[in-house]
Structure 1
Amino acid sequence: MPPLITTRLQLRELTQSDDDARFTLALVNDPDFHRFIGDRGVRTLEDAREYLKKGPLTMYKTHGFGMYCVELHNGTPIGQAGLIRRDGLDDVDIGFAFLPQYRGQGFAREAAHAVMAWAQEQLGLQRIVAIASPENHPSIGVLEEIGLKKQGRITLPGSNDPLLLMVWEV
């Protein structure tokens, strides 16, 4: 993916750099990340590098997309947004997560909207899904704002937690 540029943001591929590892370590250990997305067991910079290698970097190579670093135009990383191929879902899944101090300012909507446009225009996707904890009302609101509609509940392999399934399709 070429960098995506929006009014306030830029989205780029993640790397195993120290900066991206430190940022990822902070993001995935935020209490709301644990609550709504899950504890990924990332506790050290080395864990974060391995998480990036096995997650986004492998996804880029395998599928041509993944989660991207969302930055302010000055290069400050504030979140991640992107597309994922996930076990238990037949369709490409859009996801996002932001550091607490950058929530509630429209950044998630702006980044997710850019990802959706890129997925439709450049990848030609005609159906994109999202999963969310039913209690994660802010994320559900963002997903609705970018055009996804609630379709029901789903439980992913290896989990007992029912999630809300949301869908956008042509």
Structure 2
Amino acid sequence: MHILDTERLSLREFTPLDAPFLLRLVNEPGWIRNINDPGVRTAEEALSWAEGRLFKAYRELGHGFWAVRRREDGALLGMCGLFKRPALPEPDLGYALLAEHEGRGYALEAARACVAHARDGLGWPVLMAITAVDNPRSTGLLAKLGFVEQGQEQLEGYDEPSRVFRLKLR
């Protein structure tokens, strides 16, 4: 299902056909370093991971992490979206790109559109975000969006502390 478009990007729900892409994405060194290692090593495991992590959220929450595609050629670049983690009091913004697509402004463009969707489309008053403690690129992106750091927390489900950010939308 199509979610939204930006100047260069289109965001849509992931489908089972995206399992090979998701396998590649969750095994990127940046994903493993800055998010976690979900232990997904086959396309079948990627499909199972997507069912529990992505498709279930679409059905139950009506939002989640969406596939980020480049409009000019349809190439899948990564994911970006809105998710309600049990460990956080408010929904949060999350994003990840394949390393080959970093540094071109795609993450900022997709994240900016997701923030606008949370505010204007969903009517949310607050949005949160988390990063690894040592992830200057993500903290810089969040600062450009107006997020304010709330400090570090040890969140359930994470091995290391996370930096927690908050953005008032209303």
TM-score (norm 1): 0.95
In structure 2, relative to structure 1, the CA distance for the partners of 1:7 and 1:40 (3 Å cut) is same
Letter in 1 for 2:110: A
**What is the match of residue 90 of structure 2?**
91
Secondary structure at 1:33's aligned position in 2?
helix
Q: Percent identity?
A: 38
Larger displacement relative to structure 2 (135-144 or 155-164): 155-164
Q: How does 1:14-163 map to 2 (within 5 A)?
A: 14-17=14-17, 20-73=18-71, 74-163=73-162
Alpha-carbon shift at residue 3 of structure 1 (Å) = 2.6
Structure-2 separation of matches of 1:81 and 1:111: 6
Contiguous gaps of at least 5 residues in structure 2? none
SS at match of 2:56: helix
1:87 touches 1:156 (CA, 8 Å); kept in 2?
Answer: no
RMSD (Å), alpha carbons? 1.1
Q: Secondary structure at the match of 1:3?
A: strand
Distance 2:23 2:52 in 1: 14
1:7 paired residue number: 7
The one-letter code of the counterpart of 2:21 is F
Q: CA deviation at 1:2?
A: 4.1
Structure 2 length normalisation: TM-score?
0.95
| 1:21-78 deviation per Cα after TM superposition (whole angstroms, max 9, x unaligned) | 1110000000110011000111000011111111111001111100000000121000
Per the alignment, in what secondary structure is the counterpart of residue 143 of structure 2? helix
For 2:97 and 2:105, how far apart are their aligned partners in 1? 11
1:30 and 1:2 mapped to 2: Cα distance? 25
Which letter maps to 1:46? Answer: E
1:13–1:38: structure 2 CA closer, same or farther, 3 Å change rule?
same
Give the residue type in structure 2 aligned to 1:120: R
- Which one-letter code corresponds to 1:45 in the other structure? A
Unaligned runs of 5+ in 1: none
Deviation of residue 147 (structure 1)? 1.5
